[in-house]
Amino acid sequence: MQSIVEAVRAEGDAAVLRYSAQFDGWTGGDLEVTQAEIDEAVRAIDPALLAALERAAEQIRWFHERARSADWREERAGAVLGVRFRPLRRVGVYVPGGLGAYPSTLLMTVLPARVAGVGEIILCTPPGHLSPVILAAAAVAGGADRILRIGGAQAIAAMAYGTAAVPRCDKIVGPGNQYVALAKQAVAAEGACGIDGLAGPTEVAIIADDTADPRLVAADLVAQAEHDALAGCLLITPSSDLAERVQVALKEEVEETLHADRVRAAFDGQGAIALVADLAQAVEVADAYAAEHLEVQTADAVAVAEQVRSAGAIFVGPNSPVALGDYCAGPNHTLPTSGTARFTGGLRTDDFVVPVNWVEYQRDALAALAPVVDALAEAENLPAHSRAVRARLEDRP
The CA-CA-CA angle for residues 294, 299, 301, to 5°, reads 35
The residues near 46 (Cβ < 8 Å, ≥ 6 apart) are none
Whole-angstrom Cα distance, residue 387 to residue 397?
Answer: 19
Instruction: Provide the 8-state DSSP code for 363.
Output: H
Residue 196 half-sphere exposure toward CB, CA atoms < 13 A: 31
Catalytic site residue 293?
A: yes
Q: Which candidate, 368, 370, 362, places its Cα nearest to that of 389?
A: 370
The CA-CA-CA angle for residues 287, 291, 295, to 5°, reads 90
- The C-alpha torsion from 27 through 30 and 33 to 37, rounded to 10°, is -80
Q: In what order do the strands lie in the sheet with 72-76?
A: 72-76, 79-87, 353-361
Please identify which of the residues 226, 253, 292, 295 carries the catalytic annotation: 292
Q: What type of residue sits at position 64?
A: H
Please identify which of the residues 226, 293, 295, 333 carries the catalytic annotation: 293
Is residue 322 within 8 Å of 224, Cβ to Cβ? yes
Catalytic site residue 292?
A: yes
Catalytic residues: 292-293
